[in-house]
Amino acid sequence: MALNRQMLIDAGETITGYTFNIAELLWESEQASGSNAAYLYPEGNKRLAMIGDAVSKLAILGDLRARNIPRGSMDSIVQRVVNNANLERVGRRNHIDDLVNRNPSQQGIVSPRIVADTVEAILGAVYLDSGNDIDCVRLVMARIGLWPQEQEQQLALL
């Protein structure tokens, strides 16, 4: 059964635990390039993914700096958390791949890169929708298990 726009928005809000004021931002975050909404979002969710990439790193770095983590360790931790493989793993575990409004020519499984981009795009959408509130992004990151999670245990070893 194909999911319609409202169903995908509702599912996205359920997964993230965040209720959007501007649902259009969540809808944009769910768009793959060439989706049936390409006339609205010719680049799909790529612009929101850029924002989500930056804001997720900012949230993690802020948390690590507050703990007096050395700069080199901060960089390593950020790279482990926000790399595409981890973003894809977190996305699939939370069924974010099911939210992607795909290009009609794409059949079967959603590619790893699209899942990773969609996770970042959702974080970017939360950031914009919340009036640039990094704490809202942190809450969604925690809800989906991106940060903190096992990273907390790794920090104890530093």
Lowest mean pLDDT among 2-6, 26-30, 104-108, 153-157: 153-157
pTM assigned to the model:
0.90
pLDDT value for 105: 77
Selecting among 28, 30, 53, 97, the annotated active-site residue is 53
Q: Does 149 score more than 60 pLDDT?
A: no
pLDDT at 155 over 60: no
Q: Which fold, 5-157?
A: Ribonuclease iii, N-terminal Endonuclease Domain; Chain A (1.10.1520)
What distance in Å separates the CA atoms of residue 143 and residue 13, rounded to the nearest whole number?
A: 11
Cis bond before residue 148 (omega within 30° of 0) = yes
29-85 pLDDT, tens digit each: 999 887 776 678 889 999 999 999 999 999 999 999 999 999 999 999 999 999 999
Residue 103 confidence (pLDDT): 78
Domain ranges of the chain: 5-157
Average pLDDT of the chain, as a whole number: 91
Please tell me which residue in 28, 30, 63, 120 is annotated as part of the active site: 120
- Asked whether residue 106 carries a pLDDT value surpassing 50, the answer given is yes
Question: pLDDT-based confidence at 1, cuts 50/70/90?
Answer: very low
pLDDT score, position 25: 98
Indicate whether 158 pLDDT > 90.
Answer: no
Active site residue 24: no
Active site residue 117: no
